[in-house]
Amino acid sequence: MLTWWACNVPFFWDGVALVSKPAWHFYQNGFFPPLLPVELDAGHPPLFSLYIALCWKLFGATLPVSHWAAFPFLAGIALAFVKLTKHLALNRMWGMAMVFLVVEPCFASQSILNAGEAGLICLHLWCMERLLSGKYGQLSLLLPFLAMVSLRGMLLLPGFAVCQYLLLIQAGKHGREGLKTMMTTFIPAFLVTAGWLVYHYVHTGFFTDNTVAAHWSGNYGYAGLGGILRNIAVVAWRMADQGRIVVLLACLVMYKKLQNQHYILPQTHKRFLLVLAIQFAAFLPFAVLRQTPVMHRYFTVYYLLLGLVLLLFTEAAGIGRVKKTWLMAIATLALISGHWWIYPFPVANGWDATLACLPYFKARQEVNNYLEKNHILPDSVCSAFPMIAGSRYTHLTPDNRFQLTGKDKLPVSKARYVLYSNLSNDFTPAEVALLQQEFTLLQSFDRGIVYLRLYERNP
C-alpha cells in the first residue's frame, strides 16, 4: 500500500546523485563497463543503479517502475524484521515490531523516496538474522551483495567478522575450526570487494575517494580532532532525533527495572545485543573520522533495531498490560511526531529522513510553472541542492527541463534570480542576508512547513 501510494514521488535528495543519474547513464549507454563518468562517481559500487536501469529497460523508465523495483527489498525488510522477532522469542510482540518498523521516520521516508537505502537495509538485516541464527553458509552468499550495494555495505564487513569471531568462541569453536568457518564465510565477500576495488582503481585512478570531481572531493578529508568530536555529537543527535529520544529513554528505564529485578537475559538476547553493539561500534569510526556529512539514513538499521531492544526489555520486565500499552503508545506517537522535528535556520535538517519533505514536490512544480509563465530561463536562476536537479533526474522526463544553476557556478552575489528554500542546507547566513538586502521577493511558494522563495536582484 505504501509503494502504491508513493509510486509517483520523484527522486529526491541523494536519490538523484546516487540512483537516478547513475541509472540514466547505464540506461542510455549500456551496462558494461559498470563504471560511471567521473562527475557521477561517488565511489559506490553501482549494483543498485544497474538494477534500476535494468528494470527501466524491461518495463520503461518511469517513476512507478522505479518504486516497484524497490518493493521486493521493502518486503524483504519486513520479513527479516519478523524473523528477528521470532529469533528473539518475541512472537507475541511481532505486531508491535511491525508498527515500529512503519512509523520510524527515517525508514518511512527512505521507503518512498527510492534513494537506494532499501537494498542496503534489506541485506543488512538479513545478514544479521543469518549471523544470529548460525546460518553461515547463507551469510556467505549475502555478504558479497551487501558489499556491492553501497560503500557502507563494505564498511559493515569488519563488524560482521568481529561478531562471527566472538559468536564462534562462545560456541566453543576455537583455533583451526573457527578459522575455517570464518574463511568460508568471508572469503567470497573479500574476493568480490577486492576485485571491484582493483577494477575500479585501474579504470578510474582511485579506489573510493573521488578527488577528481570538485563536488565529491570535499567529503574525503580527515575531520581532525575538533571535527571528530563534532561528528560524535552529531551521531548522538541523530540517534536521539525525530522522537527516538523517547525510545532510548524507555529502553534505559526498562533496563534499570531489569537490573533491580536481578533479571538475567537469555543467551539469545545477549548475542543480539552484543552483535548490535559491535556493529554500531565498528561502523562508527567510518562515520566520524571523515568530513563527510553525518546523514540520518546512515543509522536506519540501528533505529529499527532499537525498537526491538525496547520490545525485548519490556517483555522481559513483565510490566502490566496497561503500562505496556501506554509505553508502546507513547513510543509510537513520539516516532510519528519525528516527521515534524524541523529545526530553524541555520541548523541543517535531514529532509530525506522525514515525510515533511513531501509538500516540496508540489511547491517545486509551482515554481516551474511560474518560471515558464514569466519566461524566466531556468539556467538563469541560482539555487542549491536539492533544487538544482532537472526533471530528467527527478521525474524521469525525456528532456532535462527546469535545470537550475548551482550557486557554485552562479554565485548569489552575481545572480539575477535566486530560488531559496528552507529545505536546502546549503545557503549560508551571509547569502541569506544578501537576499534580504539586495533582492526583491518575486513570489513565495509555501506548502506545509516547506517554502520556496524566488528572488530577483534589485535594479
Q: How confident is the model at residue 415 (pLDDT cuts 50, 70, 90)?
A: very high
Q: How confident is the model at residue 366 (pLDDT cuts 50, 70, 90)?
A: very high
What share of residues in the chain are helix, strand, coil (percent, to 5)?
65, 5, 30
- Out of 2-6, 297-301, 417-421, which region has the weakest mean confidence (pLDDT)? 2-6
Cell numbers found for residue 325: 500499552
Cell numbers found for residue 75: 518486503
Per-domain residue ranges of the chain: 2-340, 358-457
Q: How confident is the model at residue 214 (pLDDT cuts 50, 70, 90)?
A: low
Q: What is the mean pLDDT of residues 45-50?
A: 96
184: CB partners within 8 A, 6+ apart: 136, 137, 140
Q: What pLDDT digit, counting tens, does each position of 281-299 carry?
A: 999 999 999 888 999 999 9
pLDDT number for residue 91 = 86
pLDDT number for residue 144 = 98
pLDDT number for residue 229 = 96
Q: What is the mean pLDDT of residues 303-308?
A: 97
Q: How confident is the model at residue 312 (pLDDT cuts 50, 70, 90)?
A: very high
Q: How confident is the model at residue 422 (pLDDT cuts 50, 70, 90)?
A: very high
Residue 213 pLDDT > 80, yes or no?
A: no
Q: What is the mean pLDDT of residues 222-236?
A: 94
Residue 216 pLDDT > 90, yes or no?
A: no
3-state secondary structure 11-77: CCCHHHHHHHHHHHHHHHHCCCCCCCCCCCCCCCCCHHHHHHHHHHHHHCCCHHHHHHHHHHHHHHH
Cβ count near 132 (within 10 Å) = 21
- Out of 90-94, 100-104, 129-133, 183-187, which region has the weakest mean confidence (pLDDT)? 90-94
β-bridge mates for residue 457, sequence order: 439
Q: How confident is the model at residue 115 (pLDDT cuts 50, 70, 90)?
A: confident
3-state secondary structure 151-218: HHHHHHHHHHHHHHHHHHHHCCCCHHHHHHHHHHHHHHHHHHHHHHHHHHHHHHCCCCCCCCCHHHHC
Residue 117 pLDDT > 90, yes or no?
A: yes
260: CB partners within 8 A, 6+ apart: none
Cβ count near 52 (within 10 Å) = 26
Residue 26: name the closest of 6, 63, 7, 54 by CA: 54
How many residues are given for the chain?
459
Quick one: how far is CA 175 from the chain centroid? 38
* 353 neighbors 105 (Cβ within 8 angstroms): yes
The CA-atom distances, in angstroms, between 159 and each of 123, 165, 284, 325, 403 are: 14, 10, 10, 35, 41
Q: What pLDDT digit, counting tens, does each position of 182-207 carry?
A: 999 999 999 999 999 999 999 999 99
Q: How confident is the model at residue 78 (pLDDT cuts 50, 70, 90)?
A: very high
Give the Cα separation of 142 and 298 in Å (integer): 20
Q: What is the mean pLDDT of residues 167-186?
A: 91
pLDDT number for residue 273 = 97
